[in-house]
Amino acid sequence: MKASSSSSSLPSGPPYSRPPEFPNYTYDVFLSFRGEDTRRTFTDHLYAALVRAGVRTFRDAEGLRRGENIAEDLVEIIQGCRISLIVFSENYADSSWCLEELVQIMECRKTQRQRVFPIFYHVDPSHVRNQTGIFAHAFERHEATVHQGRDKIARWRAALRGAANLAGFDIADRHEAEFINSIVDEICRQLTTPYLNLAVYPVGIDSRVKDISEYLRVRLDNAVCMVGIWGMGGIGKTTVAKAIYNKFYHDFDSRSFLADVRETAKDSSGKIALQKRLLSDVLKPTKIEVGDVSNGINVIKERLRSKKVLVIVDNVDHVDQLTALAISRDSFGLGSIIIITTRDRHLLQLVKVDKIHLTQEMNEEEALELFSRHAFQNYSPNEDYIELSKRVVTYCGGLPLALEILGSFLFGRSIGDWKSTLKKLEKIPDDTIQSKLRISFDALEEWQRHIFLHICCFFIGMDKNHVIKILEGCGVAAGVAISVLSERCLVTVNEKDKVMMHDLLRDMGREIVREESPNHPERRSRLWRQEDVIDVLRDESGTEETEGLALILQRSHILSISIGAFRNMRGLKLLQLKYVLLTGDCNKLPKKLRWLCLRGSSLITRDEFRDASYLVSMDLRYSGPVRVWEHFRRLWNLEILNLSHSQYLTKSPDFSQLPNLQYLILKDCVNLPEIDRSIGLLSQLALLNLKSCTKLKDLPKDFYKLRSVRTLVLSGCSRFKKLSKHIGKMRLLKTLVISGTAISEVPSSIDELQYLDFSSRQGLSGLKRFSQDETSAARIEGACKLLKL
């Protein structure tokens, strides 16, 4: 019997070496014994019983014992065995050869994680451990032999002590046949607990388990260590957990791998089955009935709290599954390792794991190799398929599941088949991949799904705070929802605070929306595909079922759309148009709009939009008309206004119409000479971004009265010369960016800004300070000079 291997033979490419946790074993068991004591009795019977059980067993019947030193070929045999059985008999310690063999066995246990079991055959284990009794007499004789050397004797004593401290078998008063059967049963159990098979081609596994392995290696043996492996569906969490199991398998007498807990634990009977499996794995061959789930929790705690165990709880999606398995530090013995894999970070936080490991996507090199292994059974693509393979790898975005599924599907197919598959994937994602990813979506509550689909269709790449504001304006708790989606790896928030998502998750969400009405896009809740949107708007076939619509065009393909096309979209809350000319009566725009994004677009109308009271965010970047915002009145709920890159903007809004504005962004408005003094009415303003407003010289005095501003960006305002002495009253100001301005000195009151961050302070450190008194003195001195003239 050999240890199972996860790798298969490959036709070509660089050597695909077997990972170190899958050694090639020559034998299952190495049998160490004192020949004169038991060769023709106990050891002979034990050897025969092992062979009958199908266990490949080596015993030295071939005369490899020569002289006092252990033969090199026998050392190689010991190294090539999974398990060593040491039969300690009365005269075992008399043989220096046996003791040298024992030293080699214990070294293999340390360096190769070989399993070692002592058998105490009519000897007291304490005599072996402490070299007392008959073992003491043996060592008296060894020490009398000067040429043995004290170092060698010390190694023998240490080896005996180490072996006797291991869990093993003591014949005591048992019948020999019964004793041998118990040994064989346990050895067979050890051998039939296989290494877990990893992926067919475990590309990149070593790099993914390195951090966890290093962390576990330095763990405290006097503590229970709990680690979470977290990541999106199909990213390889289970494979990483299996690799960790294989690396640490031999450090534990008791271990259990509970696969796919989510599927098994759907009802109480499934939870009971998992409890029994855990108890059976750890306490074999003991069988324990647990009754119901509640009782099972108590049984696990009672029976396993003193056991040092390795437990993998794979694919958990609800905390009650962990509760049913009593997953906590006080349920297991010191030195135990508990590993949980999940798509939900919050579960790991609930059980207070010591470390959370995020499983990352494959890099480009790893992804191309994994795909090639499946598509070509080679380490790289065939020459004619290189560019097509790179396109598939890009589509998969480093997701192992997708790479394996598409690689296997495309194996042996023609270039024409590859091209048609890629074309199809652009419109409709692969069903097998989507079904795996959709598990996370289906586990969400209805309102969380709603927000996820909005993000898929409209908000990828947007500032998280802006997305939250817009969606909360739609009446949902978006902040909590985005936290949940992030915890479940359905969205991410990058270092710039942008909401991001894996392309395959985006495609999954959009496909869910498309399936709402495959042949009638006007009946879908969201419209984003260009051809569908244009058809619906041109035909004016929109319905009140549509909540969001996006039409993203290129500057070279500007399209004119009548506002009348929206007349039937009474439920529309999210509208994003890029390079679209809107014409007609703006009062026919849906009145429930929360987000209006007309980036690079124009609103060609003379009508005043009298009712935009629901609007939360207005994005008019790159807009053409000089005063496009003036078409909108009574924007009481507007919190975000972005007029960036509006080169023809010569006047800022009348802010008295925008009492709840929090974010005002006017980047690169190069012809804007001043900001309306009504900005001082914005008591909730948190951010003012005036980057590269090159005609701007100062800010209204009333602006410096605002206590809510946290961020002020003036970088690139090359004519801006002076900050008001009252800036010190802006107590919450945290970020102040003035690089590229004409500011050479700042008021001393700026030192009163206790929340100002480090980078802002660094930017101010080289500037001269001035105070109110100094300014007055300078003016008086100047007046005196004029009088003298």
Instruction: Give 321's contacts (C-beta < 8 A, 6+ positions apart).
Output: 261, 262, 265, 271, 274, 313
DSSP 264-322: HTTSHHHHHHHHHHHHHHHHTT------SHHHHHHHHHHHHTT--EEEEEEEE-SHHHH
Collapsing DSSP to helix, strand or coil, 597 comes out as strand
Residues 550 and 528: their CA atoms lie apart, in Å, by: 5
What is the bridge-based pairing of β-strands 337-342 and 309-316? parallel
Q: What is the 3-state secondary structure (H, E, C) of 203-263?
A: CCHHHHHHHHHHHHHCCCCCCCEEEEEECCCCCCHHHHHHHHHHHHHHHCCEEEEECCHHH
Give the alpha-carbon dihedral of 630, 633, 639, 640, to 10 degrees: -20
Residues 6+ apart with CB under 8 A from 697: 673, 674, 719, 720, 721
Q: What is the DSSP string of 629-648?
A: GGGB---TT--EEE-TT-TT
Alpha-carbon distance of 784 to 789, in angstroms, equals 9
The 3-class SS string of 309-334 reads EEEEEEEECCHHHHHHCCCCHHHCCC
| R_g (Cα) of the chain, nearest Å | 37
C-alpha 29: how far from chain center:
41
Q: Is residue 712 within a helix (H) or strand (E), and if so which, with residue range?
A: strand 711-713
List the structure tokens of 462: 């947007």
How far is 417 from 422, CA to CA, in rounded Å?
A: 9
Q: Tell me the pairing of strands 492-493 and 499-500.
A: antiparallel
Active-site annotation holder among 21, 100, 101, 545:
101
- Measured distance CA(604)–CA(677) in Å, rounded: 28
Phi, psi of 31 (to 5 degrees): -105, 115
Tell me whether residue 101 is one of the annotated catalytic residues: yes
Determine if the peptide bond prior to 285 is cis (ω within 30°).
Answer: yes
CB 655 within 8 A of CB 682: yes
CB-facing half-sphere around the CA of 382: CA atoms within 13 A: 14
What residues are labeled active site? 101
